[in-house]
Structure 1
């Protein structure tokens, strides 16, 4: 059994902000006007929002803030999510009621609708001695509903002894009407799912003619090869089971003039010679502004599109890379996972498919690389590789985005990019991109009010990454804020929840809870930036998470990241502060397959303030580690951490029986309470 003590869970303030701000997500109940981003249906449908919840300290034991993510209600189903009670130390499940009748529990529901849950169950089964904290599902998919019909829902917390708490406040959800559907294989469009025919024009025609509000474009079973596709407002793209959108491996099928700028171009144009901005090729699936995202106005949430949905059990396949010699592995739940070549700019022509063709096209045709702001005389291979590969999906300037159920597979670059958008939900996706170079699962950039739940991640880079601009001009952009990440299973990849290295406009108010992380390579919570990037990360709550067999560190907070992007203008140092890690279990597993346990160079907590050490700055400060238990790990490496708290932190076993605490002379003002063992005398 775990030796760390169990405290009642009280909603505390973090960095002077109530956890209402840390969490940033809640719902508007039936009373009053509808919240911005209410799901389709009547105005009584309660929409999760970034401002309507109050998580002050309390003693309530009923579930709170039952709500529905934007666009999650259809004609026959809806998705319910809720906040845990103020006090939830004895809660093992939740029960959902519809019109006063019990529908089932959240854990039972997750085994049907969440691709993460079978991995969570396998993780629990392997935890023979009960070392790990137990994550609990707190969402519920309701199916079998009728169109244009209102339903009342409540939820109770189920305690260890089988009793139930008082019910949450009730909400009423009204389903949408049945919507018009367009199938891409219909004679009007003639898409062919043979894996060979190029269907870009046929599928785009179906999308463009699907203009009735709520219209659905259906991709049936089959493999439909296509280039870049562009979605629009008030539509659903449905990939039915057995459907695969297979990205073309030809660069010309992703025309650069239809691409996008990762960050807007400042006006007036920066005078600094080192400033650059590149127009990237479009992704396989896109929502993009008419001006390619060059202006800030075109990127405002809703400026490009509103109310966009992608649903179904099909696959979006970027066709980016060749597979490894083995091709696949059998994972810890007994499923087959694809394995892609781990590559680089120097090897892309050997390892890549679309990635190779786009790199080759950019290298051989530099005069056709239009849209570069302040273009240098020569574009280095590293720049071509970093700017001219297509991601799998890019959504920019969207208000109300809902993605459910689809598999994101084999991108040439990143996975799902959500940029300068608001009210976005990613539910029950499978992200199978390992070990594709830069193959992140999700990336949020300048986006607010996001929800990430029930996902299975097996990625070639970070699972959920946050970015917020680069340096002096990036600081003028929109922050990434108010994102809730829960009930996901994260394996392999780099960081589980990652921030940076682009942090100029800040990443703040993030709640990550009830996630399981297995074999994650470089930090379950990974915060990285540089001493000249600006901005940083603040007001994070990372709690109720189980981590095992980590590749290196469990927690990384570093301003010594050495991969600064080219073409940006430096600014002041980034800062990480007001970060809470609470009720987390970490097992290094003491196995050669788990990198942390076999190398002294991989500290379980790696905190580095970077080059600003000794200058009197507090670039890393106000961290709290509370009720965290470690075993089979390396000692921590803490440099330049100030005014932080370690409370109830237990190291059950450390490599070579070393003292787990290694703090340098710049780590000052820190307190250690009920810590086992205590730091050695400095």
Structure 2
């Protein structure tokens, strides 16, 4: 029966013109293997700076490795190069061992090919505590394996590899497990008193792998990251960040995000491949009250020519969204065996949200949905606020998603094309999807959304059901639904569901409709 269904869909597809007439990259056209020598000009739907690779002075110190661990030698070299006016600290081919490294201004930490820098698993090697932000809340804890704060013109480059702390080490064993962070760290507690140093076996917040805080002109190129303790690459409060040609492998590691842009601006990410235990490419802007207190958005970010492999989401916005994520442009990327393609998360108590988000020329082979909004979350994280009803009064922590555009999208396989779980008092607003060829098991389910338009699309599916709950102003324009039943069925519910139209669609209208539009009487 399954073979007959596939054959049926294939035969129907022969009579339908593909809806994507521009080139959408394949897997062999993206990622580090395609890294260019120079940075091509950035073209985006919003103003972006001109990005260029940094140049460092010729002064270089090469690590010799005279002790069992090289922490002191590497740190002394970084301090000396920065004091000298800038240059490079070179890690030669071989296996090296270190604790936390703190980058300083005008220093390029360069790993030669086949250089492996192994990071300690002992909490003591990441002390004293430093200022950082973990899961959107400011704390004093371990920081990052490679850390910087308040520096400028810093880089980590080369063809070498960073390897995170081993399993069952004190860093991993002492991770804070008490509760979600906003229930542990009081919003009114001074940051200087939010100390989690692992004293007497107490809890710590895990270090990032590479994290610059309050830095300007940050450059990462070519390196490989493996076995991270937590999120991999995390610029926080940074301006002018370039991340290119990076390879991440954190599959199987909880919270093993690939790249998290945290309340930073003017960011270019290109030619990277991320294979992750959580989200791959992620945009964040603080959590709840603490994020609102800081008020720094993530804005002006371009992601291009990248590959997302395993991961919860290919490109994810949120769920820490307090100060807003805006002006994101993703183009010419591939998701291969990822769970969700484009993922939009937030929660009622998180605040902020996302706006002015643009996606073009994306190819997806997915385990779950192509476009997924999850604005409510689960009770285990936010309690009764995860319950859709009753609708609540809008307040400063009510998040929004609005003004989102996607075009020239090829979905080779997915569970559903679109699934929206908005918030009754703050529906997902303004999503345009055009020029689409999609193969998915299910079609569209929308709860609490308004102003959604899909145009010039061909959707192949064994399913014929469109579900709308409190969703309004929905347009299907030149959309061809290709399924064995050759029909579309709608399930409409909620007092706010209204104004759904099919224009030049195939079939022309859903089964049981008198005309091609439905309005509440």
TM range (shorter): 0.7 to 0.9
Change (3 A) 1:491 1:6: closer
What's 2:75 paired with?
204
What's 1:607 paired with?
420
What's 1:456 paired with?
273
Q: CA deviation at 1:361?
A: 12
Conserved 8 A contact 1:355-1:413: no
Conserved 8 A contact 2:24-2:410: no
Aligned mate of 1:430, from 234, 239, 247: 247
* Cα distance in 2 for residues equivalent to 1:630 and 1:620: 22
Q: CA deviation at 1:356?
A: 3.1
Q: Does 1:670 align with 2:494?
A: no
Conserved 8 A contact 2:25-2:332: no
What's 1:408 paired with?
225
Change (3 A) 1:500 1:309: same
> 1:527-538 maps to which residues of 2 (within 5 A)?
527-538=344-355
Aligned mate of 1:284, from 145, 148, 173: 145
Q: Name which of structure 1's ranges 457-466 and 557-566 shifts more when overlaid on structure 2.
A: 557-566
What's 1:509 paired with?
327
What's 2:234 paired with?
417
Q: Does 1:583 align with 2:391?
A: no
CA-to-partner distance for each residue in 1:183-227, whole Å, 9 max, x for gaps? 111xxxx445xxxx2221111111111123331000001111111
* Cα distance in 2 for residues equivalent to 1:385 and 1:557: 37
* Cα distance in 1 for residues equivalent to 2:252 and 2:216: 32
What's 1:465 paired with?
282
Q: CA deviation at 1:358?
A: 3.4
What's 2:99 paired with?
227
Q: Does 1:184 align with 2:80?
A: no
Conserved 8 A contact 1:555-1:606: yes
* Cα distance in 2 for residues equivalent to 1:639 and 1:282: 39
Conserved 8 A contact 2:132-2:138: no
* Cα distance in 2 for residues equivalent to 1:92 and 1:464: 18
Q: Does 1:314 align with 2:160?
A: yes
* Cα distance in 2 for residues equivalent to 1:442 and 1:174: 19
Conserved 8 A contact 2:327-2:357: yes
Give 1 or 2: higher strand fraction.
Answer: 2
* Cα distance in 2 for residues equivalent to 1:6 and 1:362: 49
* Cα distance in 2 for residues equivalent to 1:583 and 1:387: 44
Change (3 A) 1:564 1:538: farther
Q: Which runs of 5+ in 2 are unaligned?
A: 1-13, 43-49, 180-184, 384-394, 482-487, 491-509
* Cα distance in 1 for residues equivalent to 2:360 and 2:337: 18
Conserved 8 A contact 2:20-2:437: no
Conserved 8 A contact 2:54-2:153: no
* Cα distance in 1 for residues equivalent to 2:402 and 2:368: 23
Conserved 8 A contact 1:391-1:411: yes
Q: CA deviation at 1:533?
A: 1.8
What's 2:37 paired with?
141
What's 1:358 paired with?
174
* Cα distance in 1 for residues equivalent to 2:352 and 2:260: 18
Q: CA deviation at 1:453?
A: 0.5
Q: CA deviation at 1:282?
A: 2.1
* Cα distance in 2 for residues equivalent to 1:585 and 1:154: 25
* Cα distance in 2 for residues equivalent to 1:558 and 1:175: 39
CA-to-partner distance for each residue in 1:451-495, whole Å, 9 max, x for gaps? 111001111111111111122342242000110001011101111
Q: CA deviation at 1:309?
A: 1.2
Q: CA deviation at 1:387?
A: 5.2
What's 1:121 paired with?
none
Structure 1 length-normalised TM: 0.59
What's 2:434 paired with?
626
Q: CA deviation at 1:261?
A: 3.8
Q: Does 1:659 align with 2:458?
A: no
Q: CA deviation at 1:260?
A: 2.4
What's 1:485 paired with?
303
Q: Does 1:557 align with 2:373?
A: yes
* Cα distance in 2 for residues equivalent to 1:389 and 1:468: 19
Conserved 8 A contact 1:449-1:482: yes
Q: CA deviation at 1:662?
A: 1.7
What's 2:391 paired with?
none
* Alignment RMSD: 3.7
CA-to-partner distance for each residue in 1:567-626, whole Å, 9 max, x for gaps? xxx9432110111111111122xxxxxxx55xxxxx33210113xx2xxx4531110011
Conserved 8 A contact 1:584-1:628: yes
* Cα distance in 2 for residues equivalent to 1:361 and 1:636: 37
Q: Does 1:305 align with 2:305?
A: no
Q: CA deviation at 1:360?
A: 9.2
CA-to-partner distance for each residue in 1:325-358, whole Å, 9 max, x for gaps? xxxxxxxxxxxxxxxxxxxxxxxxxxx4354343
Q: How many residue pairs are counted as aligned between the two chains? A: 441
Conserved 8 A contact 2:25-2:334: no
* Cα distance in 1 for residues equivalent to 2:362 and 2:51: 31
Q: Name which of structure 1's ranges 528-537 and 442-451 shifts more when overlaid on structure 2.
A: 528-537
Conserved 8 A contact 1:527-1:558: yes
Conserved 8 A contact 1:574-1:619: no
Q: Tell me, what secondary structure is at the counterpart of 1:634?
A: strand
What's 1:159 paired with?
none
* Cα distance in 2 for residues equivalent to 1:473 and 1:175: 34
* Cα distance in 1 for residues equivalent to 2:382 and 2:344: 16
* Cα distance in 2 for residues equivalent to 1:539 and 1:409: 33
Conserved 8 A contact 1:279-1:372: no
Q: CA deviation at 1:277?
A: 5.3
Change (3 A) 1:574 1:478: same
What's 1:637 paired with?
445
> 1:12-27 maps to which residues of 2 (within 5 A)?
none
* Cα distance in 2 for residues equivalent to 1:500 and 1:220: 38
Conserved 8 A contact 2:354-2:401: yes
Q: Tell me, what secondary structure is at the counterpart of 1:643?
A: strand
* Cα distance in 2 for residues equivalent to 1:641 and 1:362: 35
What's 1:251 paired with?
123
